[in-house]
Structure formats: C-alpha cells, structure tokens
Amino acid sequence: MTRARMPRPHEVDAARRDPRLLRALREQTFDEAWRTRGACQSVDPETFFPAPSEPADAAVALCRTCDVQGSCLAWALTVGDCHGVWGGTTPRERRAMLVAWRGQGQPDPDAVDDPGPPVRDRLLTLVPLS
C-alpha cells in the first residue's frame, strides 16, 4: 500500500472553487437523516470502495444523480474520511478539499453566494471549547 501524498497548492486552489465543495458548504446540516435518502442505498457498498487499480467511475456517476451529495461530502470532510467515494469525490479529490475545509484556505468567495459563517465557527457552535 502506498502512502497518500499531500495535495499540491494548485490542487487546493482548484478544490476551493469546486462546485461539489461549495455545495457541501451550503448543505452542511449535521442531519443524520441524509443517509436514508442517498441514491447509494440500493447499490452494493463495494461499488464505492474500488481497489486502487480499479476506476471509481460507476460510483461517481451515481453520486451525480443523488439529492444528498452535498451533505454526504460535508460529512466525509468533517470526519476526514479518505477512503472510498463520498459525495461524488474520490479520495484524491477529497484530500485537496480537506485542506480548504479545515481552514488552511477558504473557498473562493466569488464562487459562493452566501456560505454563512466559516466551517470552524459552525463546528464551535456544536462543540463549545471549555
């Protein structure tokens, strides 16, 4: 097994403008019910966890049709899941998004209508620091 590399700066810049990440920011709700509405409920879970040498095209294509794609991706980025396909993204794509998500860089403000408070502030309202 190979070790995943850190995303390059241009990959992180592209991730900040990625419509999937922007949708995840808008749809982040911490509502666990999104899982029951996923298009993936009727598909073999192995589809979303292909071997490294296999393409993830089938899973990504199914995710594109899903109504809860943003919530799914927001969950994966919040917990830092770097395996499988979540919210229509591959692990490599999510690593770059994760850098932007965790506040080392904010999404492109010109690409977001109204993102609300930064993710860090939204998380702090749920888990206050003592």
Give the domain ranges of the chain. 9-126
pLDDT of residue 54: 92
Task: Check pLDDT > 70 for residue 13.
Answer: yes
Non-local CB neighbours of 19 within 8 Å, separated by 6+ positions = none
Please tell me the distance from the alpha carbon of residue 91 to that of residue 108, in angstroms, as a whole number: 21
What Rg value do the Cα atoms of the chain yield, rounded?
15
Q: What percent of the chain has pLDDT over 90?
A: 40
pTM greater than 0.75:
no
Q: Examine the pLDDT at 103 and tell me if it is beyond 50.
A: yes
Q: How many CA atoms lie within 13 A of 84 on its CB side?
A: 16
pLDDT at 67: 92
Give 16-19's long-range contacts (Cβ < 8 A, gap of 24+). Answer: 16/100, 16/105, 16/106, 16/107, 16/108, 16/111, 17/107, 17/108, 17/111, 18/93, 18/97
Mean per-residue pLDDT, 88-93: 92
Q: At residue 56, what are phi and psi to the nearest 5 degrees?
A: -105, 15
How far apart (Å, rounded) are the C-alpha atoms in residues 5 and 74?
22
* Average confidence (pLDDT) over 4-33: 84
- Determine contact, residues 74/27, Cβ cutoff 8 Å: yes
Is residue 88 very low, low, confident or very high in pLDDT (cuts 50, 70, 90)? very high
State the burial class of residue 49 (Cβ atoms within 10 Å of its Cβ: 0-12, 13-18, 19+): middle
Q: Is the distance from CB of 72 to CB of 86 less than 8 angstroms? A: yes
pLDDT at 31 (0 to 100): 72
| Residue written as token pair 């709700």 | 29
- Which pLDDT value is given to residue 115? 46
Q: What is the mean pLDDT of residues 25-41?
A: 85
Mean pLDDT, all residues of the chain: 79
